[in-house]
Amino acid sequence: MLNKSKKFMSFGKMPIANNFLDKKNFNNEYFFDMEVAFNEEKSLLHLKNFPKPSQMFNENYKFFTSTSNYMINHFENFASKITKKFLKNGAKVIEIGCNDGTLLNFFQSKGFECLGFEPSSNVADLAEKKGLKVIKNFFSSEFCDENFRKKTDLICAANVICHIPDLDNLIKGIDSFLSDKGVFIFEEPYLGSMFEKISYDQIYDEHIYIFSISSIKKLFEKYGFELFLAEPQITHGGSMRYFIRRKNANGEVYNIDSLLEVEKNKKLDNLESCLDFKNNCEISKEKTLKKLKFFKNKGLKISGYAATSKSTTILNYCKIGTDIIDCIYDTTPEKIGKFSPGMHIPIIDYKNFQNNYPDVAYLFAWNHKEEITKKESVFLNKGGKWFSHVQL
Ligand code: SAH
Ligand code: TYD
């Protein structure tokens, strides 16, 4: 599908972004060449190579949706809004990548018949504990439950469609589950936001694709589906919510043409914008290192805050190790006591932050800035400084 893509940049050797590891595993850590390409035919930015999905999504998966109260709230609003607009009593709902069940549970509590797909069994177990029915596997038409075949009113997903290598197969799966008038609604980090913010840390092994409206339209129309609405979201540093249905459902198409025009003007549908982005990433790396070394030369202590997947790209691309950042504070029990992938910075329980305030804290979850700076407001009051490569 993407054989005419052009490679336009490389981030060098990268480890698995969520593989927070023990010291004993430092010597057998897996690395891959993280090269990025753009396919002009499909307007699609993608990784050239990436680890096998089972290396990333398994019983040791370390991302949990419910670590952010803001995201819990966001998904509650998602479920309410979509229910009002699209669902009737007795509707059937599928979620792809339901993780710990945060979003799907909001639909279940409204009385809909729900089914989740989740290959990472540790997080799937948490969803099951909420009483949700979960197929503990990668989404596929192979697992088509007869109860949901061609009868599903809503298929929803968040921050997972960009993880799925074979998009043709994904769309075949959507086709096998969705009812005639059903809708597929998903939201993913948006290419336009990444280019604007120079948030290159959105690129890591799991994010095989960074989508735009142009790319989603082209991908789905090939299979008789139609993108009929797109809504920008502020979550995860700038995302887009896409609304898809069967073309023969013959409904109204809303803002797509005008948004495509915006993307055209920003050259998001061609390689030119990617080359600008590459240039901007190199400048950003240089600036970040210069600033961090400036802090260090002044004798200031720098720590990290939030051991995100995104931080794996920043730390390994800029080669930031314990000589610059002493540790990273985080709330996730599964990450605490381990070391960051590749650069091996210790991950410490966030509760210790207040007793060890650094002079500067690199906020790796810059996308959760409001939630975190509010929670840690004393840090700023005591003279601490938040830092990031993106504008805070
Ligand atoms: N939707 C949640 C979780 C995002 S993380 C949120 O937005 O917070 C992505 C989740 O999708 C992980 O739990 C991962 O195990 C799962 N996943 C990855 N590939 C998948 C696939 N092909 N089918 C279904 N789930 C997948
Ligand atoms: P997120 O930006 O969702 O991570 P990713 O880049 O992996 O998508 O942030 C989740 C991580 O941030 C997770 O390791 C927990 C951590 N975190 C905190 O430590 N404190 C907080 O208040 C929040 C919201 C997140």
- Overall pTM surpassing 0.95 (yes/no): yes
Which residue's CA lies nearest to atom 9 of ligand 1?
A: 160
Residue 139 Cα to ligand 1 midpoint, Å, equals: 9
CA distance 304 to 256: 40
CB of residue 207 inside a 6 A radius of ligand 1: no
As for ligand 2, residues whose beta carbon falls within 6 Å of it are 63, 67-68, 306-310, 330-332, 335, 350, 365, 367-368, 371-372, 375
CB of residue 123 inside a 6 A radius of ligand 1: yes
CA distance 267 to 111: 44
Point out the ligand nearest to the CA of residue 365: 2
CA distance 369 to 371: 6
pLDDT in tens, 284-328: 999 999 999 999 999 999 999 999 999 999 999 999 999 999 999
Which residue's CA lies nearest to atom 20 of ligand 1?
A: 138
Point out the ligand nearest to the CA of residue 370: 2
CA distance 257 to 263: 10
Residue 329 Cα to ligand 2 midpoint, Å, equals: 10
What is the structure's pLDDT at 143? 81
Which residue's CA lies nearest to atom 16 of ligand 2?
A: 306
Which residue's CA lies nearest to atom 17 of ligand 1?
A: 97
Q: Are strands 239-246 and 225-233 parallel, antiparallel or unpaired?
A: antiparallel
Which residue pairs from 251-258 have beta carbons closer than 8 angstroms and sit at least 24 positions apart in sequence?
252/228, 253/226, 253/227, 253/228, 253/229, 254/228, 254/229, 255/229, 255/230, 256/213, 256/217, 256/227, 256/228, 256/229, 256/230
What is the structure's pLDDT at 250? 84
What is the structure's pLDDT at 3? 83
For the chain (length 392 residues), average pLDDT per consecutive 10?
Answer: 91 98 98 98 97 97 97 98 97 98 98 98 98 97 87 98 97 96 98 98 98 98 97 97 96 95 96 98 98 98 98 98 98 98 98 98 98 97 98 94
Residue 371 Cα to ligand 1 midpoint, Å, equals: 23
Question: What is the DSSP code string of 185-225?
Answer: EEEEEBHHHHHHHT-GGG-STT--EEB-HHHHHHHHHTTTE
